[in-house]
Amino acid sequence: MNKHPFDEKIADILKQNEDQLPSLKDKEQVWKTVEHKLPNSFRKNIFHYTLYVIAACIPLLIGFMIVFRQKEPQQKPVNIVCSDHTISVDTRNPQEETKKELIRNLPADGSKQYDKVQESDISSQHNIMTNAVVDTSINPLLAEEHAMAMQEDVVAEPVEPSIQSIPGNKIKIRISLSSHKKQQEREFRVQFNDLYLAKNEMEQTVKKEEKQEKNHALFQIPLR
Amino acid sequence: MKLNARCNLFSRSCIYDNITEEILNTLIEQCKKGNRNDQYRFFQLYADHVFRVCLRYMGNKPEAEDCVSRTFLNVFNNMIYVSFENEKMLLAWMRKIAVNECLMSLRKKVKNMDVFVEGEPIIDDKQDFLSNIEASYLLEIIQSLPVGYRTVFNLYAIEGYTHEEIGQQLGIAIGTSKSQLNRARSLLQEKLKKMEEK
């Protein structure tokens, strides 16, 4: 691009004598304006740190919520009214507590026999329904042994009946927490696992006994 | 190597003579990181240069100062996206930002930059009246031109823009840019001659 000589001359004068041109006198004031509008690195960092903290807290909060949700049903014990006395059941672990209570309240001499154990006092908040049925033909002399055995005889509804190994001492307990479906599922899963383990143990014991009997029989064969 | 010698378009005052390329690169890196002290040093170094560019366009000091502050704000905010091979590039980049800021201010201030003057402009090819003129005085005369003339003259004669680019920047036709430039030249010569006669 060919510049006009007049333009060139003016541009040269301005470029070569830049020092003669006025300078910015109030630099500090202008700098303050610039500085005020510049993004503050401290504020920027604080903003980022806050974001990191929030991001880290979200999984923690979720964890806490899960934990407290599981512990949520901390209600008053449910009272199961039997024919002549009351059994309290802690709903946090209804199966264990019910078992213990039932065992504790078994009549030592067998004079009192349970016809029926039925739920009452349904917690309105959690709508817990408990049904318990106790068979009547308990041998009074074996009351303590039965009480111990009953720990394995507490059977939840969905489990196959073969686990009920001792006839006549069968207790069925069904507990449902209808207001907390998840809780209900969890509780039943625990029950099922416990029972499944109990069943396995029982089967193994039976097998061992059978084996021992066989061995014993072998040793008793007379040598010829 | 002294950077002072490498700046073709504008010479600078002696305050920058001691700065080597290495120091300048370090300064730029620190500015990119947001180091406030180094940003202040950078501002001290180049504030006058930017101010003189703004002064040619804006016509008065307060408006030029406003443009300087906005220019440096843009420089610091956008520095991180640009790499500079040498100081010449840095100066050219900053000058472009300064010019853009000035044009934006002028657009807000003056809606129509076209100034109509009756009659054809007469341009004298003799440049005798420019021989003894001082730069500060020349700047004053440029500042006294109407906004449209001044802007087109600055962009074409000093910054080296083409008429097409000026037309795009200012939103005017190429012919308008050309006529504004001729009238600016004519008016400048007239004023310079009058001053010489006095």
Mutate to test the interface with B, among A18, A41, A42 (most CBs of B within 10 A): A18
Chain A nearest CA to B110, separation (Å): 24
DSSP string over A165-186: -STT--EEEEEEETT-HHHHHH
Task: Kindly determine whether residue A30 and residue B139, on different chains, have CB atoms separated by under 8 Å.
Answer: no
Contacts of A23 in chain B (CB under 8 A): 13, 48, 51-52
Pick from B90, B91, B89, B101: nearest CA to B65: B101
Compare B3 and A97 and report the one with higher pLDDT. A97
Query: Which of the four pLDDT bands, split at 50, 70 and 90, describes residue A96?
Result: low
Q: What is the value of pTM for the model shown? A: 0.54
Q: Taking residues A67-73, what's their average pLDDT?
A: 65
Q: Quick check: A4 and B135 CB within 8 A?
A: no
Which residues have C-beta within 8 Å of that of residue B133, sequence separation ≥ 6?
A13, B192
- Does B16 or B28 have the greater pLDDT score? B28
Q: Where are the alpha helices (DSSP H) in A87-180?
A: 94-104, 143-153
Higher-confidence residue of B20 and B98: namely B98
Predicted local distance difference test score (pLDDT) of residue A19: 81
Q: Which of B38, B46, B54, B68 to mutate to probe the A interface, most A CBs <10 Å?
A: B68
**Contact: B69, A37; criterion CB under 8 Å:** yes
d(CA B123, CA B138): 17
pLDDT in tens, A138-197: 334 344 444 444 444 433 333 332 223 333 333 444 433 333 333 333 333 333 334 444
Tokens found for residue A121: 């006092």
Q: Which of A13, A15, A33 sits opposite B69 (nearest CB)?
A: A33
**Alpha carbon distance B54, B68 (integer Å):** 7
β-pair partners for A156? none
Q: Do A14 and B138 touch (CB under 8 A)?
A: yes
Among A3, A17, A37, the residue with its CB nearest the CB of B73 is: A37
Helix intervals (H) in chain B: 21-33, 36-58, 61-78, 87-109, 135-143, 147-153, 163-170, 174-197
Q: What is the pLDDT of residues A4-29, one digit of tens each?
A: 888 888 888 888 888 888 888 888 99
pLDDT reported for residue B82: 87
Rounded to two decimals, the ipTM of the complex is 0.80
Quote the pLDDT of residue A198. 53
Residues 6+ apart with CB under 8 A from A163: A152, A153, A155, A195, A198, A199, A202
Burial of A43 (0-12, 13-18, 19+ CB in 10 A): exposed
More confident of the two residues A218 and B5: A218
Residue B30 predicted with pLDDT over 70? yes
Lowest mean pLDDT among A52-61, A65-74, A125-134, B108-117: A125-134
- Asked whether residue A110 carries a pLDDT value surpassing 60, the answer given is no
Q: Testing the interface with A: which of B42, B52, B192 to mutate, by most A Cβ within 10 A?
A: B52
Rounded CA gap, A10 and B188, in Å? Answer: 10
- Note which residues in 90-109 of chain B have CB less than 8 A from chain A: none
Judged by CB atoms closer than 8 Å, whether chains meet at B188 and A10 is answered as yes
Distance CA(A134)–CA(A147), nearest Å, equals 12
- Summarize pLDDT for B178-197 with one digit per residue, the tens: 999 999 988 888 888 887 77
pLDDT at res. B83: 87
